[in-house]
Amino acid sequence: AGVEEPDDDYILFDMPGQIELYSHLNAGRQLAKLLESWDFRLCSVFLVDSQFMIDGAKFLSGTMAALSVMANMELPHVNILSKMDLLSKTSRGQLDKYLEPDPQALLGEVSNESAWGRKYRKLSETIGLLIEDFSLVRFTPLNINDEENIADLLMMIDNVIQFGEDADVRTRDFDPPEPEEEDDPDKYYGE
C-alpha cells in the first residue's frame, strides 16, 4: 500500500541537522525533486535557533547558511528563528534589530570585535549590502507559545506554496466592510 493522498494536510519532513545535506550536497534537492514528481507542493523551512543569532557575527553566519540552503534546494523558502520563547527580554531586544536588518548597524558589531572582523570589514560590508539590497534573506520569529504567531507562519507557508490558489472564492469568506465616514481625512491612513 502507498501513502494516501492527503486532502488539505501537511506532511512535515524533519531533516537531520547536518547542514551540508542541504547547503552544498545534492541529497536534499534529490529528495525534493522526487516529492515534486509525486505532486507534492514543497516549501523549504529553514529553522535557526534564535539563541544563536543574538550577535552580529552569528547573525551574518546564520544568514549566509540560510542563503546557501535556499540556493541549493531550489524551492520556495521560509526562514524561521525558533525558540523565541526561550529568549530573555534583553536578548529579544537584541534580536529585534536583526529581523529587519540594517547592514551598517550589523557591521558595526561584526567588524570591530576581532582581528578577523577588522581584516574582512569590506567583505562583511559587501555581504550585508547584498542581503539588504536584494532582500535575499528575512527571518520570521517563532514563539511556540503564541498561537497567532504559529497561524501567521502557516499562512506565510501557504502563500509561498500557493496553497488554496485553486479554491473557489466564497462571499462568506470575507467580513462585510465597516461603514466609512465621508468627511474623515485619515481614512486612507488607517488612523
Tell me, yes or no, whether 180 lies in a domain: no
Model confidence pLDDT, tens digit, residues 74-94 = 999 999 988 888 888 888 777
Model confidence pLDDT, tens digit, residues 4-59 = 665 677 888 888 778 888 888 888 899 999 999 998 889 999 998 888 877 777 88
Domain of residue 66, residue span: 20-163
Number of domains into which the chain is organized: 1
Sheet holding 44-49, edge to edge: 44-49, 77-82, 139-141
Tell me, yes or no, whether 9 lies in a domain: no
User: Collapsing DSSP states into helix, strand and coil, what is residue 98?
Assistant: helix
Tell me, yes or no, whether 181 lies in a domain: no
Tell me, yes or no, whether 145 lies in a domain: yes
**CATH code, 85:** 3.40.50.300
What does pTM read for this prediction? 0.71
Q: Cα separation of 119 and 113, whole Å? A: 11
Tell me, yes or no, whether 41 lies in a domain: yes
Tell me, yes or no, whether 172 lies in a domain: no
Tell me, yes or no, whether 15 lies in a domain: no
DSSP string across 54-72: SSHHHHHHHHHHHHHHHHH
How much is the pLDDT for 125? 76
Tell me, yes or no, whether 173 lies in a domain: no
